[in-house]
Amino acid sequence: MGWSLNLGTIAGTTVRVHFTFLLLLVWIWLTHYQIGGTPAAWEGVAFIIAVFACVVLHEFGHIAAARYFDISTPDITLFPIGGVARLERMPEEPGQEFVIAVAGPLVNVAIAALIFALLGGSAGVEQMAGIEDPRMNFLARLAGVNVFLVLFNMIPAFPMDGGRILRAALAARLSWSRATQIAATIGQGLAFVFGFVGLFYNPLLIFIGIFVYLAAAAEAQNAQIREVATSVLVGDVMITEFARLERSATLDEAIEMLLATTQHDFPVTDSAGRLEGLVTRNDMIRTLKEKGPAEPVVSAMRNDIPKIHYRKSLEESLRLMQQANVPAIAVVDNSDRLVGLMTHETIGEMLMVRSAVSDAFRFGRLRGSKPRLTRI
């Protein structure tokens, strides 16, 4: 993810921190410095780091449950309002999503209980509620934060765990798409409540409301994509008119093609038309700066691009794209020759078409049964 710093890898999952989290640390330091000077400032920073350590453990609760169902989690990204663990694929059954969603809050329950036990039960409600008061016991405040994380995450709104638990419960009786639409609508309604309350109390609630609204909308769109993708073939919606680079091409030739087209990603093929790799605009510019225009294009290409047959379902291509976290995947024919590309923009355009026509519209009817390839 852009604007993120890698902190390391734990059990195969990369932990990243978004740059806005660093801004949060600066803000915490400055506000606590005004209250009690340098000691209070560093105590405030230490507390917020401890809080986000609990958030990381929360996310690893989700990860442990996901791995039980053979779902990999490539990375976690920490934001000022929490963490996000990226799953390679969605759970296949409502029960699986329920278990994965509830695993995170259970970690916070365990942390709060452990801290309470360490304090010998001496932490009262007043101490645990004084999260923002640096005069209160450090561990008691941390226990209070974990209790708050449980309550906040159980709110039935995406992207909180409560929203996913609600969808899992609804999906036991309704379709996945319908369950998501209901849960997303509830989440967007609560987002407006957050924003309204934030106008009179804490402005941070306005920011949270915006985040919840956008996340709920994104979840609803993903469900719509998933529903449509099951009945659409890759060959029906793939890009068939695109520029490609030969393996022998240089960066100078690649730059000329970049300027002559609207493409940002260029497949590299051998003489038989089989995929060798993909060169992105950013990799192209970076390698040009480091090695010059005469450098072979293969030195700038990435070779981790998945391939899929044009008769496979769009749902499978989405899964491959999500697992590999790539800008595009290659579409091939029976001879393993490149005949098309699938990108995130392609998916967006497909949804725009579907929203403008009836459900009876059949993608690919203008192309015929076989893909038509135009070479540029």
| pLDDT tens digits, 59-78 | 999 999 999 988 888 888 88
Domain 234-375 has CATH 3.40.1390.30: no
Q: What would the mean pLDDT of 160-189 be, rounded to a whole number?
A: 88
- Has residue 230 got a pLDDT over 70? yes
The share of the chain scoring above pLDDT 90, in percent, equals: 8
DSSP annotation of 370: S
pLDDT of residue 63: 92
Distance, in Å, from the CA atom of 262 to the CA atom of 281, rounded to the nearest integer, reads 11
Size of the chain, expressed as the number of residues it contains: 376
pLDDT of residue 144: 84
Which value, in Å, is the radius of gyration of the alpha carbons in the chain?
Answer: 25
Secondary structure of 191-243 in HEC code, one letter for each residue: HHHHHHHHHHCCCHHHHHHHHHHHHHHHHHHHHHHHHHHCCCEHHHHCECEEC
Whole-number mean pLDDT of the chain?
A: 81
- Has residue 36 got a pLDDT over 60? yes
Assess contact for 278 and 302: CB atoms under 8 A. Answer: yes
- Has residue 120 got a pLDDT over 80? no
Residue 47: closest CA among 121, 186, 141: 141
User: Which residues, at least 6 apart from 101, have a Cβ–Cβ distance to it below 8 Å?
Assistant: 62, 161, 162, 164, 165, 168
pLDDT of residue 127: 53
Distance, in Å, from the CA atom of 185 to the CA atom of 351, rounded to the nearest integer, reads 19
pLDDT of residue 61: 92
Assess contact for 13 and 71: CB atoms under 8 A. Answer: no
pLDDT of residue 376: 44
Phi, psi of 330 (to 5 degrees): -90, 140
- Has residue 374 got a pLDDT over 50? no
| Number of other residues whose CB lies within 10 A of the CB of residue 40 | 17
Can you tell me which residue has the tokens 């999260």? Answer: 131
pLDDT of residue 373: 47
pLDDT of residue 62: 92
- Has residue 349 got a pLDDT over 80? no
Whole-number Cα distances in Å, 336 to 280, 333, 370 = 22, 5, 15
Residue 74: closest CA among 66, 218, 342, 98: 66
Q: Helices (DSSP H) in the chain: which residue ranges?
A: 19-68, 94-118, 125-129, 138-153, 161-171, 176-200, 204-229, 234-237, 251-260, 281-291, 314-324, 344-356
The share of the chain scoring above pLDDT 70, in percent, equals: 89
Q: What would the mean pLDDT of 77-101 be, rounded to a whole number?
A: 82
- Has residue 106 got a pLDDT over 90? yes
Q: What is the pLDDT of residues 284-313, one digit of tens each?
A: 899 988 888 888 888 888 888 889 998 888
User: Which residues, at least 6 apart from 274, have a Cβ–Cβ distance to it below 8 Å?
Assistant: 332, 336, 337, 338
Q: What is the pLDDT of residues 237-252, one digit of tens each?
A: 888 888 888 888 899 9
Is the preceding omega at residue 159 within 30 degrees of 0, hence cis?
A: yes
SS3 assignment, position 17: strand
Q: In this predicted model, which residue has the larger pLDDT, 325 or 283?
A: 283
Which band of pLDDT confidence, cut at 50, 70 and 90, is reported for residue 366? very low
DSSP annotation of 156: S
Q: What is the pLDDT of residues 128-162, one digit of tens each?
A: 555 566 666 778 888 888 988 898 888 888 778 89
pLDDT of residue 76: 86
The gap from C-alpha 41 to its chain's centroid, in whole angstroms, comes to: 33
